[in-house]
Amino acid sequence: MSANKRIVLSSDHAAIDLRQAIASHIATKGWEAVDIGPTTPESTHYPEHGAAAARRVASGDCQFGIVLCGTGQGIMMAANKVDGIRCGVCSDVFSAQMIRQHNDANILSMGARVIDEDLALQIVDAFLDAEFEGGRHATRVDMIKALEA
């Protein structure tokens, strides 16, 4: 995965405000935010948005993704159906560090109806600041990848 400093952001209708806040936040940290919407509040379908973000990451167009829905769960499930994606839902800072350090997660999911904006931004920072540790964790991540074959 190239370190292209591009992050795709996607959500359903439940998380538009949080997604836009995160896009502004990561831009101040030197990341390019690729916000693929939606921008209008009509009810929409999280699987479509999760898959669209996942494909941007799986193709290498974006280094990471951040996906959001009401709970973070549905859009995470959709993103993980795309080969090459390891997406975890986080509602705490420790888990956000761990999914990078141990699981080499390439997409972070959060729930806009679960956590507030301040915590979400802390979680984003933890995810982006952490690095995959490799070693025994690479063995396990390779085992996840093998499940796609």
Active site residue 87: no
70 binds ligand RB5 (CB under 6 A): yes
Active site residue 62: no
Q: Tell me the C-alpha distance between 15 and 77, whole Å.
A: 16
> Which positions from 76 through 135 interact with ligand RB5, judged by CB under 6 A?
none
In the complex, least distance from residue 70 CB atom to ligand RB5, rounded to whole angstroms: 3
DSSP-derived pairing of the beta strands 32-35 and 6-11 = parallel
**SS3 label, residue 125:** helix
User: Is 74 or 88 the residue whose CB approaches ligand RB5 more closely?
Assistant: 74
46 binds ligand RB5 (CB under 6 A): yes
Residue 54 CA from chain centroid, whole number: 9
In the complex, least distance from residue 12 CB atom to ligand RB5, rounded to whole angstroms: 5
**SS3 label, residue 131:** coil
Tell me which of 9, 14, 90, 105 binds ligand RB5, using CB under 6 A: 14
In the complex, least distance from residue 140 CB atom to ligand RB5, rounded to whole angstroms: 26
Of the listed 13, 25, 45, 102, which one is catalytic?
102
**Residue 106, beta-bridge partner list:** none
Q: Are 126 and 136 in contact (CB under 8 A)?
A: no
12 binds ligand RB5 (CB under 6 A): yes
Q: Going by C-beta distance under 8 Å and a sequence separation of 6 or more, which residues neighbour residue 70? A: 12, 14, 15, 111, 112, 113, 114
Q: Which residues are catalytic?
A: 69, 102
Q: Kindly list the residues in this chain that would bind ligand RB5 in the complex (CB under 6 A).
A: 12, 14, 46, 69-71, 73-74
